[in-house]
Amino acid sequence: MTTIHDVEDFLALHRIAMVGVSRNPKDFSRLLFREMCERGYDMVPINLVAEEIDGRECFQCLQAVKEPVQGALVMTPFSETIRVVQDCAAAGVRNVWIYRAGGKGAVSPEAIAFCKENGIRVVDGHCPFMFFPETKFVHRVHGLLQKITRRYPAAA
């Protein structure tokens, strides 16, 4: 179960790979990617077919990244998540956030179990927008709904 400390520790990282960031500039993953860049994160795009995303060199997998990342934000289809967390383990990435807003998102019980078995700290679900200081109203509402439904990360 993800705690608020897991979220805070992940968001305290500086160099983060976004695995599955879309080539479509209007896609939600690109909005989040740009927001994280604007908030000072050194974002590294991972996409199987793109050469660059928002002017940043894009890589096909985490193992191809030249300078190591501290964490990976996984925004892939559900069916790809286990492969991505295995790539994280092989690349030495010890902090993973598996994205979910509605539905399953990228969250896979198999991937979460793999992370735990391999010493990878995982945030299993949630949308980073909810946790940014001074985030937009819609994201604050999303966080409030998570609290009301007791899905918001607990303190411990």
Tokens at 63, concatenated: 């193992």
Digitized pLDDT (tens) for each residue of the chain, 156 residues in all? 899 999 999 999 999 999 999 999 999 999 999 999 999 999 999 999 999 999 999 999 999 999 999 999 999 988 999 999 999 999 999 999 999 866 667 788 999 999 999 999 999 988 899 999 998 878 888 888 888 888 888 886
Q: Is residue 91 part of a domain?
A: yes
Q: Is residue 128 part of a domain?
A: yes
pLDDT in the model for residue 142? 81
Q: Is residue 102 part of a domain?
A: yes
Q: Is residue 101 part of a domain?
A: yes
pLDDT in the model for residue 117? 97
Q: Is residue 83 part of a domain?
A: yes
Number of domains in the chain: 1
* Structural domain containing residue 121: 4-148
Give me the CATH number covering residue 12. Answer: 3.40.50.720
Q: Is the dihedral of CA 42, 129, 98, 45 positive or negative?
A: negative
The Cα angle at residue 76 between residues 66 and 139, in degrees rounded to 5: 105
pLDDT in the model for residue 101? 62
Q: Give, in order, the Cα–Cα distances in Å from 59 to each of 17, 19, 140.
A: 10, 9, 32
Q: Is residue 130 part of a domain?
A: yes
Task: Give the Cα separation of 141 and 120 in Å (integer).
Answer: 30
Q: Is residue 154 part of a domain?
A: no
Task: Give the Cα separation of 148 and 117 in Å (integer).
Answer: 31
Q: Is residue 156 part of a domain?
A: no
pLDDT in the model for residue 107? 86
β-strand pairing of 15-19 with 121-124: unpaired
